[in-house]
Amino acid sequence: MSAVSAGSVLSAIDPDEFEVVPVGITRQGRWLLTDGDPSELAIRGRQFPEITDGAGTEVALPAGSGGRIVALDPAQGAAALADVDVVLPVLHGAYGEDGTIQGLLEMAGLPYVGAGVFASAACMDKEFTKKLMAADGLPVGEYAVLRTGQSLTEADMARLGLPVFVKPSRAGSSVGITRVDDWAQLPAAVATAREIDSKVLVEAAFTGVREIECGVLEGEYGGEPEASLPAEVHIDSRHSWYDLEAKYLDEPELDIPPRLPEHVVDEIRRTACRAFTALDCAGLARVDFFVTPELDVVVNEINTMPGFTAASAFPKMWARSGLDYPKLVSRLIRTALHRRAEHG
């Protein structure tokens, strides 16, 4: 999924304003300087693209390098290759949104787009996302946390009811998530989630809710965060919930703005900015909501590096709000550079 988003960003970025140094990462963790061809990063035949060995020159970003990327040649050793002013880490899920890459960039002394180490880690871990939002008075749904060796208690089952969603606490893009409609299905669902993360979240499902997303951008030049027009997600009838295929392979229909009373739309936008601030986010985020039949607004989760594909809601919401894709990318980069200039 990260490669697809990166391809879309490469297509949208203004070459007259920015010189791109396209670095891809293989599944084995090798960094490769690629040719940055967006067509190589497109979905084909319902298969996601990925960076593989041979796609480019292996590179590294040493700590304290000040942004200098080093090429690794087995025969000749390391050699300076390029200087980078700012990084746009289009990486979803583990190592990309959990504070790992952010910590590396901090050690390298490089400014980067998006949330810092703490906010990235807190937003990636759904348990602590919910705890921090609840502490700030934001509405969140009922849930239970299962750590290693723990099982759901009868009291939790009675409190949560059915159905529930079982998911890894620290994962993205709907990976490892199972809908449970019968408690007999719970052990298998927990086992699936634990293949990805030892800590598992069991969330109460809402009945008859509408799924709403809202984009947030850090205010320019130190201003307050700004929220886009929200979008309501309509899932293809082939899917019972918003899973990985529904998000990326079967483009969802979006209503931007959603067909909701104006005061509810305003509440969603205000709450999105509150959540962004409560989690100490920076740069950008997508805040996901449920709106109940009674028009109550509940925060589901925050994504600090939302999808940037052609089908993704985040760029579409901002385009409908007056900020097209190329200008959105430019703003994100300028904001990161300004933040570094202001705070060092």
The answer to whether 256 and 319 have CB atoms below 8 angstroms apart is no
Tell me which residue of 13, 8, 112 sits closest to 329, measured CA to CA: 13
The answer to whether 170 and 94 have CB atoms below 8 angstroms apart is yes
For the annotated binding site, the residues are 126, 165-167, 173-174, 203-211, 288, 300-301, 303
Alpha carbon 143 to its chain centroid, in Å, reads 21
For the annotated binding site for Mg(2+), the residues are 288, 301, 303
The answer to whether 66 and 109 have CB atoms below 8 angstroms apart is yes
Phi–psi pair at 231, nearest 5 degrees: -130, 140
Amino acid, res. 289? F
For tokens 């990636």, what's the residue?
A: 124
Q: How many residues does the chain have?
A: 344
For the annotated binding site for ATP, the residues are 126, 165-167, 173-174, 203-211, 300-301
Phi–psi pair at 138, nearest 5 degrees: -85, 145
Alpha carbon 69 to its chain centroid, in Å, reads 25
Distance CA 3, CA 9 (A): 10
| 75 exposure class (CB count in 10 Å sphere: 0-12, 13-18, 19+) | exposed
What crossing angle do the helices spanning 126-135 and 117-124 adopt, rounded to 10°? Answer: 100
Distance CA 155, CA 97 (A): 33
Strand 284-291 and strand 210-217: the pairing is antiparallel
The answer to whether 89 and 333 have CB atoms below 8 angstroms apart is no
Distance CA 233, CA 300 (A): 14
